[in-house]
Chains A and B, each alone.
Chain A
Amino acid sequence: MGGMTRRWLIDNQGLFFMAPAMILFVVFVLYPIFYIFNASLYDWDGINEAIYVGIQNYIEMFTNDRAFAVSIRNSVYWTLLTIFPQMILGFILAYILTSGVPLQNVFRIIFFMPAIISPVVLGIVWQRIYAPFGGLLADFGLAIGARFLIQPYIADPKIAIFSTIFVNVWQWTGFSMLMYVAGLQGLSQEVLSAAEVDGAGARQRIQHIIVPMLRHVHLTLILLGVIGTLQTFALVFMLTKGGPNHATEMLPTYIFLKAFRLQSMGYASAVAVVLLLIALSASIFQVRFLGSRFTIGG
């Protein structure tokens, strides 16, 4: 302990500012990552002695686990059928709601509102909308004579995942809209009016100028959409519990089911490792090779 150490500490005083964030990161993020890699190699109920099984959990998962395969398939559906509809509808709304229509701030608040409400609440509300007897859609279908609206939306394994995805689109379109509103407000007015003077119609301006210039917003929405998809839990849990017969299972609901209902902590950790690797590789790919950012400002 001498002048050297003292000097080093003064030069590195940023470490003191960082210390609380670092400690929390190590305890609640870094250690858990090592933990699931380790636990995934055991057969363990969370209480009794864990039995080392090597990569047996992974072999089981990839060769003999229909629910896991369904979760992967559902994640692909969810990614494609939430991100792009939310972006397209969000862009249309943002375009209209920055063009000076009356009440545009009120409309923005209305479309964004579902995004701030807990998915727990929305899950229960949408159960009543989807209910085949006395539900909103079914009664509406009866009243106007559109009998196709009377469906077992969340009870039929063939359509349950799409009904669940629909709720997600309803909830998050307003968020995409808000990101595009900010993006549109940030566009250079000079470029836009120059295009107008050159005789570019609204459609040409959207297609050739506005959409390409909002590339950073598209990329951010895709990045956040993939991560959001991979951590979907509360909505599915409240609406369908992952059922019927795993038809709406997502990786997070499957981890919860295995770990806390079937007491297979080791197997659940193996599923968590797979989820972690998918999430990290998808995100790092986008950030590294597409230049996606978590923020659209700055």
Chain B
Amino acid sequence: MRATTTGRASSKRALGKSAAFVFVFVLALIWLVPIIMMLVVSFMPPDQRAPRFGGLLISGVSLDNYVTVFEDAEIVMHFFNSAAITIPSVILVVIISSLAAYALARLQFFARDIWFYLLIMTLMLPIPTLVVPIFQINKSLGLNDNYAGLILPYTALGVPFAIVILRSFFANFPIEIEEAARLDGCTRFGIYWRIMLPVSWPAVAVVIIWQFMTSWNEFILALVTMNSVDVKPLTLVPLVYSGQFMMRPGPMFAILTLITLPVIVVYYLMQRFMVSGLTAGAVRG
């Protein structure tokens, strides 16, 4: 009697599992359609005029669109601009946020909690509320059309989230090791630099990935800060060439694919940190 009940229950469970697999499999295929479409259109032969199914069906595979993009669109220059904005902002966020997070986790100082709450408040601010003043600040500092005009605000807006992640990581680190180092004459900065920072690399990795993605994909501040084509990062490139490639989806989608490639690569390399890390921290959309 008992055996048949368990038998029926386990076959019911197996059935449920197969149904669940079919459900996620079908949904995953649908989920991928826009991304597949982006790739397929980018390989569309230039003589194909009107692609059917939005471009999911093409008459052949060709690399001509990529050739066009590299010849006509200075894509390498824009790639360099994105890197020149993203990399310094990532480095600055790591240094500045880890210093602050160490102080917030371990040191007593004047108005500590007030500073922490003010920094957390930044996470609640929609970036578009700041776009007019940041544009004016950059204008008066002569930083519009300048990499620094984006590096500094990206750093300022990225630091609070990084502090949230690093502070809880530092706070969970056993204090005895620190005290031992203090007795050996290590300064506070020495503890931060030689002990805390090296042991926190998983949290630092999360900060690096997250800041890389936000800086690389940021749009509204880039849109108002960079007016000259020479300094525009990749996110603005579709707008720059939307007129030129309006009737030619092939080159446009080649550009979209090239913009997306670096984030996919970084995500793929780092995704084992990402799952634990993203969830250990929050996100600014």
Chain A residues within CB distance 8 Å of chain B: 11-15, 17-18, 20-22, 24-25, 27-33, 35-36, 39, 46, 93, 96-97, 99-102, 107-111, 113-114, 116-122, 124-126, 128-129, 131, 134-137, 139-140, 143, 170, 172, 174-175, 178-179, 181-183, 202, 220, 224, 227-228, 230-234, 237-238, 251-252, 255-256, 259-260, 265, 268-269, 272-273, 275-276, 279-280, 283-284, 294-298
Whether the Cβ atoms of A136 and B280 lie closer than 8 Å is no
Contact B102 A17 (CB under 8 A): yes
Could you tell me the distance between the alpha carbons of A21 and B159 in the complex, rounded to whole angstroms?
7
Quick one: closest A residue to B110, CB to CB?
A: A12
Question: Which 10 A-B residue pairings sit nearest by Cβ, starting from the closest?
Answer: A136-B54, A14-B109, A252-B128, A182-B279, A32-B133, A14-B107, A294-B282, A231-B126, A228-B285, A297-B280
B17 touches A101 (CB 8 A): yes
Instruction: Evaluate contact between A21 and B224: CB separation under 8 angstroms.
Output: no
With a cutoff of 8 Å between Cβ atoms, the chain B residues found around residue A126 in the complex are: 34
Task: Identify A125's interface contact among B37, B137, B224, B278, CB under 8 A.
Answer: B37
In the complex with contacts A129-B54, A231-B285, A255-B132, A238-B238 CB distance below 8 A: yes
Using a CB-CB cutoff of 8 Å, which residues 104-133 of chain B contact chain A? 104, 107-110, 112, 115, 118-133
B211 at the interface (CB under 8 A from A): no
For B123, B276, B283, the residue with the greatest tally of chain A CB atoms inside 10 Å of its CB is: B283
- Which bucket holds chain B's interface residue count? 35 or more
Q: Which of A14, A114, A116, A135 contacts B108 (CB 8 A)?
A: A14
User: Total contacts A to B, CB within 8 angstroms?
Assistant: 306
Please state if B263 and A117 are interface contacts (CB–CB under 8 Å). yes
Residues of B within 8 A of A35 (CB): 132-133, 136
Known contacts A17-B192, A20-B99; is-contact A128 B128 (Cβ 8 Å):
no
Give the residue of B112, B126, B153 whose beta carbon is less than 8 angstroms from that of A276. Answer: B126
Query: A101 and B24 in contact (CB under 8 A), knowing A36-B129, A275-B129?
Result: yes
Whether B128 pairs with A231 at a CB distance below 8 angstroms is yes
Q: Is the CB of A260 within 8 A of B224?
A: yes
Check A114/B31 contact, CB under 8 A, given A18-B99, A21-B163, A35-B133.
Answer: yes
Task: Tell me whether A15 and B109 are in contact (CB under 8 A).
Answer: yes
The answer to whether A17 touches B219, judged by C-beta atoms less than 8 angstroms apart, is: no
What chain A residues lie within 8 Å of B24 (beta carbons)? 93, 96-97, 101, 107
- B52: Cβ under 8 A from any A Cβ: yes
- Measured between beta carbons, the chain A residues less than 8 angstroms from B28 are 107, 110-111
A265–B264 touching, CB < 8 Å: no
- Expressed in whole angstroms, the minimum distance between the Cβ of A196 and any Cβ of chain B is 11
Q: Is the CB of A234 within 8 A of B220?
A: yes
Whether B20 sits at the interface, judged by CB under 8 Å, is yes
Indicate if B62 sits at the interface (CB-CB under 8 A).
no
Residues of A within 8 A of B235 (CB): 118, 120, 234
Does B259 lie within 8 Å of A118, measured CB to CB?
yes
A273: chain B residues within 8 A (beta carbon): 129
B57 to chain A, nearest CB (A): 9
The answer to whether A24 touches B217 (Cβ under 8 A) is no
B270 to chain A, nearest CB (A): 10
